[in-house]
Amino acid sequence: SQTIHQWPATLVQPVGSPLSLECTVEGTSNPNLYWYRQAAGRGLQLLFYSVGIGQISSEVPQNLSASRPQDRQFILSSKKLLLSDSGFYLCAFGRRAGELFFGEGSRLTVL
Amino acid sequence: GNSVTQMEGPVTLSEEAFLTINCTYTATGYPSLFWYVQYPGEGLQLLLKATKADDKGSNKGFEATYRKETTSFHLEKGSVQVSDSAVYFCALRGQGYNKLIFGAGTRLAVHP
């Protein structure tokens, strides 16, 4: 079966510190992978998506970056966090039928 | 560009009440439409979907019909339960695209 995991689940970081959120997918090969952010009380904003290893598309200019070093691994990073980076980050992979399957989410609080 | 508009929440209902959450979209061609549900502290789960006009998606007592003439995909349930309390997101996938565009979400609170 297809599964997706992301970690850490919860993270509290000071302003200016680095960030690394990791997402891995199992049970599928060459999936489309996505990072979304959900700010408090708001909808989902697509940050990055990837259709293959090393292929990253950025949807909005921001303080974050993404990488896909392996087929089923997707990493969200920042060199220096801002207060506005706080939010709930969701990784997802695309299924053949077109829908997305989401991970459990990572809650980031920047202080 | 493609976009999704949902009714603002929160929606507060008593148990066994009828639920409607409105969703309209803007897109060229024939998008696929989805409803996702997010329970507190969790990621999103696919609730139902429809891939062509007049299709009806259904799951767990929820239904939504793809209406191309009104560009709508309203979510309905005949009798809500406390356990349905969550945030509901309408989403579309444009024809030929591999990205989902989400609405802002509608929070539903069901009281006993």
Angle at B97 between CA A44 and CA A85, to 5 degrees: 25
Mean residue pLDDT across chain B? 94
Identify the bridge partners of residue B3 per DSSP, sorted by sequence position: B26
- Pairing state between β A3-7 and B56-59: unpaired
User: Mean pLDDT of all residues in chain A?
Assistant: 92
Report the residue from B46, B89, B98 with minimal CB separation from A32: B98
Q: Which of B13-17, B54-58, B97-101 is predicted least confidently?
A: B97-101
Q: Cα(B25)–Cα(B2) distance, rounded to whole angstroms?
A: 7
Is B82:B14 a contact under the CB 8 Å cutoff? no
**Interchain proximity A90–B43, CB inside 8 Å:** yes
Q: Which residue has the tokens 């356990």?
A: B83
CA angle A27, A31, A34 (to 5 degrees): 115
Residue A39 pLDDT: 78
